[in-house]
Structure 1
Amino acid sequence: MKVLIADDDLISRMITKAAVEQSGHECIVATDGDSAWELFKEHSPEAVVTDLMMPGLNGLDLCRNIRASEEDSYTYLILVTSHGSREDVLTGMEAGADDYVTKPLDPFSLHIRLLAAQRITSLHADLARYRSALTEQARTDPLTKLHNRLKLTEDLAQLHARSDRYSRDYCLAMVDVDNFKSYNDIYGHQAGDAALVSIAATLAGQVRQTDGVYRFGGEEFLMVLREQSAASAHGVLERVRSAVLELKIDHSGDPDGILSISAGVSAYTDGHRAGTEQLLREADLALYAAKAAGRNRVSLADALRSE
């Protein structure tokens, strides 16, 4: 465990450092509250042993700063007081301290508190990992492993706000698997699921890491293409469409004999700074136009507006 010691008294620092290292922990030393705060931000220790009274930030302020900065992590805070009065202890706990020791420091007392610190910070680390996993699971489509509509809503809101602020372009592409209902009817839902997994992987493999591919629902996918004009996005979707054809997934119910996709593209560009809901509607209408024109093609919302 990494332990930060903050104390302006040399003798106290030496005793505390020796006790921490004898307990088998890595030690970081600060000579005042201000440097302790900087070292905390740099090293993210699991535990902090801080004197109550120090130049700059005192122990209480240091505890408050640490607690205010924490998100998924947790730091065990041990306050060192000169006499351990009830008032000092209560004030320290209210400031965020977990425990306290009194001067002169008893190494055994500190060792016991560091054992507790190790258990508690380990538990918090496990909980943080579980929360992160659950958060990711809630935003991931269980079949295709693409992000889902919840994650799309979050990502699109951030992208749109940034694009609006800095006048950046982006495009949305609504993608649908052609004649997928008949595919399920002919080959069964298990084969349909396998086809969706293959197509999802193909879509994800044809775009940049900065772009996004989401399962929108059923056999529909939504692609978010950053820094793209309508024309360049059309080129991307034609490449994606060709890659899906190259999968050569047999479909006896399709005129071409294999599974294909259709796509509709809307663009957030100069002259068309529409909101996200409008862009989604435009991409959907463009997809409908691609379907009506015979499927297995890409349609641009810009072309529909100009008609």
Structure 2
Amino acid sequence: MNTSAQKKVPPLVLIVDDDKSMRILLRQAMKKEGYQVAEAKDGEECLTVYDRLQPDIVLLDAMMPVMDGFTCCTQLQTLFAGEPKPVLMITGLDDQASVDRAFEVGAIDYVTKPIHWAVLRQRVRRLLQQFQLYKQLEEANQALQRLATSDSLTQLANRRRFDEYLNQELQRLAREAAPLSLVLCDVDFFKSYNDTYGHQAGDDCLQQVAQAIARSVRRPTDLVARYGGEEFAVLLPNTNAEGAVRVAEKICSEVKALKIAHTKSQLSTCLTLSVGVASTVFYHESSSAMLISAADKALYQAKAKGRDRIVVVPLSAPHPSVSR
């Protein structure tokens, strides 16, 4: 038996009307359709109740004291624009100007008084269905976005996301003349690891390393990405070389703590990393390629010097030509 289906929560309808008898009639009609109901007697109370309960639809009277429905609808669009909710305006005004105004302030549909109850029920049902489809589409789009920007094996950001974020942060930090650091990590002798233990073990190894690197990077503005193959990249905005080295040391420590056996390593019986670090303060003449090239050079030197180490390549960006 599908208990989750049995416990599906019915939609919540927020009724906003200064006329108590009208609220009672609307409540009865919505309850009869199986909906949950909340009430507010004017626009100001509507905003408070909406913020607290996040209803699925608002039945909003146009003409009310304190704050009318038009003003309230405008406030709803302004204050809670993160996820639009359907607003159905109920009005005794049926002139074209009032109808146009209802749509201008964000109402999706309207009915006039006296209410034709069958029409109201049908429109509420249709709006709720449309909103449900909208939510499903948003969730699908978000899932597609995650797929497009994440690495399927490690669940880290992929190279595409890395490039996007690097260019985004480069523009932001150039305006602030703030530092940006890049840490490139490469699993030592990974080919021999794959040859010895098999590709499935190699995938498991990369997943563990990815998690260890992610544990070492805690700020929400930092980005950990799978750069390619057994190589990982860590972008550290507002971080100088000294701070980047501390992060790199933490990463190496976390990976060694995994104690992943690597009997064919020429360095140790456990898996290790070679790490290249580059850091600079960017200005408008700078490019992302400059930082990547420097970090790649540092990683190459770490490998050439025997691996299982961190190398920093100093990088100086050109200063602005304007005098300070």
For normalisation by structure 1, the TM-score amounts to 0.78
- Residue 167 of structure 1, CA deviation: 5.0
Aligned partner of 1:133 in structure 2 is: 143
Q: How much does 1:192 deviate? A: 2.0
* Shift of residue 6, structure 1, vs aligned partner: 4.2
Change in CA separation of 1:266 and 1:274 when aligned onto 2, cut-off 3 Å: farther
1:86/1:228 CA distance change after superposition, 3 Å: closer
Distance 1:45 1:154, change over 3 A: farther
Per the alignment, in what secondary structure is the counterpart of residue 314 of structure 2? Answer: helix
Percent of counterpart pairs with the same letter? Answer: 33
Within 5 A, what are the aligned runs for 1:1-307? 1-7=11-17, 12-13=22-23, 15-17=25-27, 19-20=29-30, 23=33, 24-29=35-40, 31-32=42-43, 36=46, 40=50, 44-52=54-62, 73-82=83-92, 84=94, 97-166=107-176, 168-210=178-220, 211-246=222-257, 247-252=259-264, 254-269=266-281, 274-302=286-314
CA displacement at 1:38 relative to structure 2: 7.0
Deviations 1:261-307 (A, max 9, x none): 111111134999954332222111111111122211111022899xx
Residues in 2 aligned to 1:93 and 1:232: alpha-carbon distance in whole angstroms: 53
Unaligned 5+ runs, structure 2: 1-10, 318-324
Quick one: structure 1 residues 42 and 250, their matched pair in 2 at CA, closer, same or farther if it must change by over 3 Å?
Answer: same
Q: Distance in 2 between matches of 1:249 and 1:164?
A: 43
Partner SS state of residue 186, structure 2 = strand
Task: Tell which deviates more after alignment, 67-76 or 279-288.
Answer: 67-76
Per-residue CA deviation, residues 86-106 of structure 1 (Å, 9 max, x unaligned), is 786677567754433221234
TM-score for the superposition, normalised by structure 2: 0.75
What RMSD, in angstroms, separates the aligned Cα atoms of the two structures?
3.8
Residues 209-236 of structure 1 deviation map (CA, whole Å, 9 limit, x = unaligned): 4333110111110012344331232132
How far does the alpha carbon of each residue in 1:154-173 deviate from its partner, in whole angstroms, 9 at most, with x for none? 43344444544555444210
SS across alignment from 1:27: strand
- CA deviation vs aligned residue, 1:98-153 (integer Å, no higher than 9, x gap): 43322123455433433333333223222222222222222211111111123223
Does the 8 Å CA contact 2:27/2:37 hold for their aligned counterparts? Answer: no
Contact 2:276 2:310 in 1 (8 A): yes
- AA aligned to 1:146 is L
What runs of 5+ residues in structure 1 fail to find an aligned partner? none
Superposed CA offset, 1:27-79 (max 9, x none): 242524x7656765665432122334567986567667766888774422323
Query: What amino acid maps onto 2:56 in structure 1?
Result: E
Counterparts of 1:303 and 1:109 in 2: how far apart (Å)? 69
Give 1:196 shift. 1.2
Distance 2:178 2:198 in 1: 44
Q: Residue 184 of structure 2 contacts residue 232 of structure 2 at CA under 8 Å; is this kept in 1?
A: yes
Question: Which range moved further: 51-60 or 41-50?
Answer: 51-60
Alpha-carbon distance in 2 for matches of 1:104, 1:303: 74
| Matched residues, number | 304
| Residues 280, 315 of structure 2: 8 Å contact kept | no
CA 1:160 to 1:71, structure 2 compared with 1: closer, same or farther past 3 Å?
farther
Query: Aligned partner of 1:238: which letter?
Result: E
Q: Distance in 1 between matches of 2:76 and 2:22?
A: 22
